[in-house]
Structure 1
């Protein structure tokens, strides 16, 4: 990480109910872009689902968080083995910017910027519907980005669900009610 990425990796609110979180990742930018847009690479850190790289394309994200680490950590109550979300590509500028719809929020923007041999990935998740969802999403993006950073570095990530539970508690302390 460098001056552009918070040393603790936590996201911050840029406006009420909008989370922005960043990670400095090993480049080149095309490699990071592939981890965002290619289903096989994306499933290793976030969710599977083929994505046509064009405005108006739909993508169904399929989360199987139990598969993010070996052995899997214990899934929290209230979560299923699999979760699906249908999204639409609103804007795309490979390999720098992707904007998609995302459930009941106002969408998610992925922005990539080269910084020397590394790439700064900024994710902005806009206008989440309530605090509970904001806490879940904050812990989710943080945990998933930690998995991405580990995968890109060639190391086994920490147990996802254990980290998600810890992070949700941390975000509950950091984000005002």
Structure 2
């Protein structure tokens, strides 16, 4: 009987602990207006890195290191990827970034999802939205967004890791301005 009682207590403590982590992640998202970070992105084995800034909702600016001046910009409606020789413009709503860059969507999804703990230091939620499966990762200690993985519109498997995260900084008003086509 004592064993049964201890198992029940452990079960409820585990549930409470997971609920507490989920609430702290949600509160952290609610308190975040913007964040900047270094990133490493692996797209089908090709690794790129650089720096990004996200401003909620739905804005991002990324500069890629050691690439032909590659930038990725979203003004909240369109997503542009520009290099020296190419220019691609997409409706943001057709990309997985539409979910990742909208903390209200993230919060609503997280509230109804079951989290998964990975290696005892990452919290993962898997979101299904507009025919996209997006796995979002949070640090278990800081509750910060630290990465995501998804398949992009060209069926490329994309893994993005964030590091050196800074939050709620003063940002330039023109940072998320869509660049002109070459």
Bigger helix fraction: 1
TM-score, normalised with respect to structure 1: 0.32
Bigger strand fraction: 2
Larger radius of gyration: 2
TM-score, normalised with respect to structure 2: 0.31
